[in-house]
Amino acid sequence: MNQAVQAAAPAAKRKPKETGVPDNKKYLHPLMVKNYGNWKYHDRPRPGVLHHVAHSGDEIWSVRAGTQRQMDVHTIRLLCDIADNFAEGRVRFTIRSNIEFMVSEEKKVAPLIAELGKHGFPVGGTGNSVTMIAHTQGWLHCDIPGTDASGVVKALMDELHEEFIREEMPNRVHLSTSCCEINCGGQADLAIIVQHTKPPVINHDLVANVCERPTVVARCPVAAIRPAMVNGKPSLEIDESKCMCCGACYPPCPPMQINDPENSKLAIWVGGKNSNARGKPTFMKMVASGLPNNAPRWPEVAEVVKRILTVYKEDARPWERLADWIDRIGWPRFFEKTGLPFTKYLIDDWRGSRANLNSSTHIRF
């Protein structure tokens, strides 16, 4: 229990109503309540629009638009005005921070799309499009960020906007970014993640006062950290030959600064798939690293992302997710087609890594 609770407040303080997760029924569009659990099928009349048909014969149209996720109240009120005046007052958000407006009549779809367009909200993100990037907090709010999140997403979505508003990819493309290796952005077809390249720089004056040393020692995945006396003060030291620069020690011990303006790089990962469709779910794999953390628009990252997506778009067959496509063409061809260098750092040497090695003569020439 933290100090806020221990510092028991005067009796006048309001006790929380421990209500938990609220019921969603009162927020649902009335047609969703009526046909709850009784939908029959859906189609997509155009990118950004889902048309669901219930067993009852009822129909509902959902118009999906991209947002900046980190929204000011004026933007949210504008979206509410659009929902009240051009839709039916009910909205929902997708896991990738797109907003959906539900309407019961087809004739409302076009004016709703026009209004969203007028205010600069891109309509799309459905089906085989590149959808909005799942992202983290970055410099705006995180305590351990190697880079920004909202800014990276804004810069990249400007570049990928055309693929968001169209459905021209082989299958859906989910993207994520993470501002440290913890990867709060999560698994995706293509992810951009900070990759540190130097061990943490320790401020030995602060460690004893700020860090619970045994916790920090225990946190290291490769047991590279040990307690030590430095300049007469209890501190920690790192076996730099063991350290793989993951930054796991930094959250419990901020004096072990892992972020480095020059040496914290960005890596690109591909082939994560959450769905069980076709193959089993997969984790993504690192295919590029060493890209500079070049705010405010990260052009080098955008170039690699677009290069991979361009090759995928040209080469993959319908319904192949990025992982499915690479399964078919093989990794050598992936690196050949994208022109990305396959370095020794891409050969897995973590526990379980033998399963990632090719123990066969299945080799494409």
Partner 1 sequence: MAKKLHDTPNLDQLEDGPWPSFVTGLKDLAKDKDYVVDLLGQLEESYKTKKGYWKGGTVGVFGYGGGVIPRFTELKNADGTPKFKDAAEFHTLRIMPPPGMHYDTATLRQFCDIWEKHGSGLIAFHGQSGDIMFQGATTENVQKSFDEINEMGFDLGGAGPAVRTSMSCVGAARCEQSCYDEAQAHRAVLNTFLDDIHRPSLPYKFKFKFSGCPNDCMNSIQRSDMAVIGTWRDNIRTDEALAKKWFAKHGMDELVNDVVARCPTKTFQLKEIKNVKKSDSISSVAVSDTHAVEIDNRDCVRCMHCINVMTGALAPGKDKGASILVGGKSHLKIGGLLGTVIIPFMKLDTEEDVEKLVDFAQRTIDFFAENALEHERTGEMIERIGLANFLEAMEIEADPAMVNSPRMNPYVRTDGWDAEVAKINAKKQAA
337, with CB counted inside 10 A (0-12, 13-18, 19+), is middle
When asked if residue 70 is in the footprint of partner 1 (CB under 8 A), the reply is yes
Min separation Cβ 299 and partner 1, Å: 11
Q: Which among 22-30, 196-204, 307-315, 336-344 is the span making contact with partner 1, rule CB under 8 A?
A: 22-30
When asked if residue 278 is in the footprint of partner 1 (CB under 8 A), the reply is yes
CB atoms inside a 10 Å sphere around CB 322: 27
Contact with partner 1 (CB under 8 A) among 58, 68, 228, 327? 68
Contact with partner 1 (CB under 8 A) among 74, 107, 118, 344? 74
For partner 1, which is the closer residue by CB, 163 or 199?
A: 163
When asked if residue 24 is in the footprint of partner 1 (CB under 8 A), the reply is yes
Min separation Cβ 257 and partner 1, Å: 9
For partner 1, which is the closer residue by CB, 9 or 363?
A: 9
For partner 1, which is the closer residue by CB, 4 or 363?
A: 4
When asked if residue 345 is in the footprint of partner 1 (CB under 8 A), the reply is no
Contact with partner 1 (CB under 8 A) among 264, 265, 268, 287? 264
Distance CA 253, CA 227 (A): 13
When asked if residue 277 is in the footprint of partner 1 (CB under 8 A), the reply is yes
User: Which phi and psi angles does 130 have, rounded to 5°?
Assistant: -90, 115
Min separation Cβ 89 and partner 1, Å: 5
The single residue listed with the structure tokens 């020059």 is 262
Residues near partner 1 (CB under 8 A), total: 122
Distance CA 65, CA 101 (A): 8
Beta bridge partners of 99: 65, 93
When asked if residue 275 is in the footprint of partner 1 (CB under 8 A), the reply is yes
When asked if residue 37 is in the footprint of partner 1 (CB under 8 A), the reply is yes
Question: DSSP 3-state assignment of 201?
Answer: strand
When asked if residue 118 is in the footprint of partner 1 (CB under 8 A), the reply is no
Taking a C-beta distance cutoff of 8 angstroms, is the pair 155, 297 a contact?
yes
- Please list every residue from 134 through 163 that binds partner 1, using CB under 8 A: 134-148, 150-151, 154-155, 157-158, 161
Q: Which helix (H) or strand (E) holds 331?
A: helix 331-338
When asked if residue 57 is in the footprint of partner 1 (CB under 8 A), the reply is no
What value, to the nearest 5°, has the Cα angle with vertex 306 and ends 334 and 164?
Answer: 120
- Please list every residue from 187 through 226 that binds partner 1, using CB under 8 A: 187, 215, 218-219, 221
Sign of CA dihedral 339, 343, 349, 350: negative
Taking a C-beta distance cutoff of 8 angstroms, is the pair 146, 194 a contact?
yes
The number of angstroms, rounded, from the C-alpha of 157 to the middle of its chain's C-alpha atoms is 13
The single residue listed with the structure tokens 């991209």 is 66
11, with CB counted inside 10 A (0-12, 13-18, 19+), is exposed
Contact with partner 1 (CB under 8 A) among 122, 124, 199, 200? 122
When asked if residue 328 is in the footprint of partner 1 (CB under 8 A), the reply is no
Contact with partner 1 (CB under 8 A) among 45, 56, 80, 290? 80
